[in-house]
C-alpha cells in the first residue's frame, strides 16, 4: 500500500489528531488565574470540568500549545478604595502566573513575543501569554500601561461588563458615558500601540469598537467574541464590525460561551437564574465579602446546570463558517473563555480541542486554513502590532 492511499484510508479521528498536532495552537482567553489565586488549585494536576477546564496536563492532551491567561478584574464603582483594591488584585494574579511558571518550568514558559510560541513549542512546553481583561486596574494612570507591559501583559481588554474610564461597555444597562472611547482611552490605545500590546475590543460597545478601530495604528483583536448574526447578543460582533476588523488586519477569536454561540432557550430554569444572578452581580459593589463569595458560589452552581444542553462544536463552527464567508479565512480564531463561562457540550475543556479540528475537516477546511484558525491569524495580527510599535519607537510613524 502506498503512502498516499494509506492517508486516504486514514480514520477521521487520526487525521484530525495528525493535523491538529502540526498546528501551532493558541487560545486567546481563559480565566484560569481566578482559580490560581484560590488555595489548593495546582495547575500540574488534571482536573475535571465543569469546575475547572484548563490545566497543564489537559493542555498537553488537547494539543494546545499556547494559552493567554487573563488577569480579570470585575468592574466596580470608581472609588479610590476600589481602584487600589483592583490594582492589588491584578498584581496578585500576575504574580500568581509568574510563580506558577517558576514552579512548573519543566512544563510551561512565559511567552511575551509572537515568535516565542514556536520556540517554546519546539521545547515541548506550553507557552503562557498574559492578557488583562478590563482596564480598570490602570486607574486613570497612563504609566501603568507600561508597568503592566513590563510584567508580561500583551493585551488589554479595554472594558468588561460596565463602562469604565477607558470606554463604554456593550453590557452596561446605563446610557453611554463617553459615547465610545474616552479621552483617557485614546491615550491608552496610543500607549498600547507604542509598546506593542494588542488592543482587545471584546466587551466594548459597538461605538467603542468603531472608535478603537479608528484610533489604533495597529490591528486590533477581539480575544473572545462571537457572531451577532447567529447569536443576538450585544457582546457579539456585527458583520459591519467584522469587516472593519478584517480590513485593519485584526482577528475575531470565537468564544465558546453558550449564549454567545446560540440564542438561549428562555424557558429554562438556568436562563432565569442566570438573569437574576446578572442583576445581583451588577449591585455586588454594595455586598460584603461573604455575600460576594456566596454569589460566586451560586453562580458556579448555576453555570454547571444543563451541561447536556450546551451548544456543540457544530454550532461553534457555524460562527467560523460565517466569518470565512464574510471576509475570508484570515481573520478568525478561538478564544474559549474557559474558567470564565466558556464550555461546549462536546468541548468542555482544553483536552477536547482536537474535536474542533475534526469538525473543520468534516466541513472541508484545508490543513492550511485550520492552521490559520488555530493560531496563524492571531500570530499575524500580533506580529503586526509588534512591528507598528518598533516603527513608532523609532519615529517612523507619528501619532
Ligand atoms: Zn470576558
pLDDT of the chain along its 399 residues, tens only? 445 555 568 898 999 999 999 999 999 999 999 999 888 899 999 999 988 999 999 999 999 999 999 999 999 999 999 999 999 999 999 999 999 999 999 999 999 999 999 999 999 999 999 999 999 999 999 999 999 999 999 999 999 999 999 999 999 989 999 999 999 999 999 999 999 999 999 999 999 999 999 999 999 999 999 999 999 999 999 999 999 999 999 999 999 999 999 998 899 999 999 889 888 877 777 788 888 888 888 988 888 888 889 999 999 999 999 999 999 999 999 999 999 999 999 999 999 999 999 999 999 999 999 999 999 999 999 999 999 999 998 876 655
Q: How far is the CA of 172 from the centre of ligand 1 (A)?
A: 14
At residue 301, the pLDDT reads 87
Burial of 283 (0-12, 13-18, 19+ CB in 10 A): exposed
Cα(57) to centroid(ligand 1), Å:
24
Task: Determine the Cα–Cα distance for residues 131 and 387; give it in Å rounded to an integer.
Answer: 19
265 C-alpha to ligand 1 centroid (Å): 21
Ligand 1 centroid–CA 74 distance in Å is: 10
Q: Where would I find the H helices in the chain?
A: 3-8, 12-22, 33-36, 56-61, 80-103, 116-122, 143-150, 183-195, 206-215, 239-247, 258-261, 269-281, 289-303, 313-327, 354-362, 367-371, 377-393
CA of 277 to the centre of ligand 1 (A): 16
Q: How far is the CA of 133 from the centre of ligand 1 (A)?
A: 7
Torsion of CA 79, 337, 231, 279, to 10 degrees: -40
Distance 203 CA to ligand 1 centre (A): 7
Distances, alpha carbon 186 to alpha carbons 32, 286, 293, in Å: 30, 31, 35
What is the whole-number distance in angstroms between the Cα of residue 13 and the centre of ligand 1? Answer: 31
Q: Please give the distance, rounded to the nearest whole angstrom, from the Cα atom of residue 394 to the centre of ligand 1.
A: 34
- C-alpha 393 to ligand 1 mean position (Å): 31
Query: Residue 126 and residue 105: Cα distance in Å, rounded?
Result: 10
Which phi and psi angles does 19 have, rounded to 5°?
Answer: -70, -40
Specify the pLDDT at position 38: 84
Buried b (16+ CB within 10 A) or exposed e, 147-168: ebbebbbbbbbbbbbbbbbbbb
What are the pLDDT digits (tens) for 202-256?
Answer: 999 999 999 999 999 999 999 999 999 999 999 999 999 999 999 999 999 999 9
Q: Give residue 89 CA to ligand 1 midpoint distance, Å.
A: 17
Q: Distance, CA 225 to ligand 1 centroid (Å)?
A: 8
Asked if the peptide bond before residue 189 counts as cis, ω within 30 degrees of 0, the response is no
| Residue 10 alpha carbon to ligand 1 centre in Å | 39
Closest CA to 254 of 224, 285, 291: 224
How many Å lie between the centroid of ligand 1 and the Cα of residue 261?
Answer: 14
- Residue 159 CA to ligand 1 center (angstroms) comes to 9
Distance 65 CA to ligand 1 centre (A): 21
Q: Are 114 and 139 in contact (CB under 8 A)?
A: no
Closest CA to 384 of 211, 152, 244, 217: 217
Q: Which residues contact 315 (CB under 8 A, 6 or more apart)?
A: 261, 262, 344
Plot region of 298 (φ>0 → left; ψ -120 to 50 → alpha; else → beta): alpha
Q: Report d(CA 226, CA 224) in Å as an integer.
A: 7
Q: Report CA(143)–ligand 1 centroid distance (Å).
A: 24
Let me know if 381 is exposed, middle or buried by CB neighbors in 10 A (0-12, 13-18, 19+). Answer: buried
Tell me, in angstroms, the distance from the centre of ligand 1 to residue 289's CA: 22
Sign of the alpha-carbon torsion through 304, 26, 356, 234: positive
Q: How far is the CA of 18 from the centre of ligand 1 (A)?
A: 31
Nearest to 348 by CA among 357, 358, 359, 336: 336
Contact 354, 16 (CB under 8 A): yes
For residue 390, report the distance from its CA to the centre of ligand 1, in Å.
29
pLDDT attached to residue 399: 52
**Spacing, Cα 6 to ligand 1 middle (Å):** 44
Amino acid at each position: 500500500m502506498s503512502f498516499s492511499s494509506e492517508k486516504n484510508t486514514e480514520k477521521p479521528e487520526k487525521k484530525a489528531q495528525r493535523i491538529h498536532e502540526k498546528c501551532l495552537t493558541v487560545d486567546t482567553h481563559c480565566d484560569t488565574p481566578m482559580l490560581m489565586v484560590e488555595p489548593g488549585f495546582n495547575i500540574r494536576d488534571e482536573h475535571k470540568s465543569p469546575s475547572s477546564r484548563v490545566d497543564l496536563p489537559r493542555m498537553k492532551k488537547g494539543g494546545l500549545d499556547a494559552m493567554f491567561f487573563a488577569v480579570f478584574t470585575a468592574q466596580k464603582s470608581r472609588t479610590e478604595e476600589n481602584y487600589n483594591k483592583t490594582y492589588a488584585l491584578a498584581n496578585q494574579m500576575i504574580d500568581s502566573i509568574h510563580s506558577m511558571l517558576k514552579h512548573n518550568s519543566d512544563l510551561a514558559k512565559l511567552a511575551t513575543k509572537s515568535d516565542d510560541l514556536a520556540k517554546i513549542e519546539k521545547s515541548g512546553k506550553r507557552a503562557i501569554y498574559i492578557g488583562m481583561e478590563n482596564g480598570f486596574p490602570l486607574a486613570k494612570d497612563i504609566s501603568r500601561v507600561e508597568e503592566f507591559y513590563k510584567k508580561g501583559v500583551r493585551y488589554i481588554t479595554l472594558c468588561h461588563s460596565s463602562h469604565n474610564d477607558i470606554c463604554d461597555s456593550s453590557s452596561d444597562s446605563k446610557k453611554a458615558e463617553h459615547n465610545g472611547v474616552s479621552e483617557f482611552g485614546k491615550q491608552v490605545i496610543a500607549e498600547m500601540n507604542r509598546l506593542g500590546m494588542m488592543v482587545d475590543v471584546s466587551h466594548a460597545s459597538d461605538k467603542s469598537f468603531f472608535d478603537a478601530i479608528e484610533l489604533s495604528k495597529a490591528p486590533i483583536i477581539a480575544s473572545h467574541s462571537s457572531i451577532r448574526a447567529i447569536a443576538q447578543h450585544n457582546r457579539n460582533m456585527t458583520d459591519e464590525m467584522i469587516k472593519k476588523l478584517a480590513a485593519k488586519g485584526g482577528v475575531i477569536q470565537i468564544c465558546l460561551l453558550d449564549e454567545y454561540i446560540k440564542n438561549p432557550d428562555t424557558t429554562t430554569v438556568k436562563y432565569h437564574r442566570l438573569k437574576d444572578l446578572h442583576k445581583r452581580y451588577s449591585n455586588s459593589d454594595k455586598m460584603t465579602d461573604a455575600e460576594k463569595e456566596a454569589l460566586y458560589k451560586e453562580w458556579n452552581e448555576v453555570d454547571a446546570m444543563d451541561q447536556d444542553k450546551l451548544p456543540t462544536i457544530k454550532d461553534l463552527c457555524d460562527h467560523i463558517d460565517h466569518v470565512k464567508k464574510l471576509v475570508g479565512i484570515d481573520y478568525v480564531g478561538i478564544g474559549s473563555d474557559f474558567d470564565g463561562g466558556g464550555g461546549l457540550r462536546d468541548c468542555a475543556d482544553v483536552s477536547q480541542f482536537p474535536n474542533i479540528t475534526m469538525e473543520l475537516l468534516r466541513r472541508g477546511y484545508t490543513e492550511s486554513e485550520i492552521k490559520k484558525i488555530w493560531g496563524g491569524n492571531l500570530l499575524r495580527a500580533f506580529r503586526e502590532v509588534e512591528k507598528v510599535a518598533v516603527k513608532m519607537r523609532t519615529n517612523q510613524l507619528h501619532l
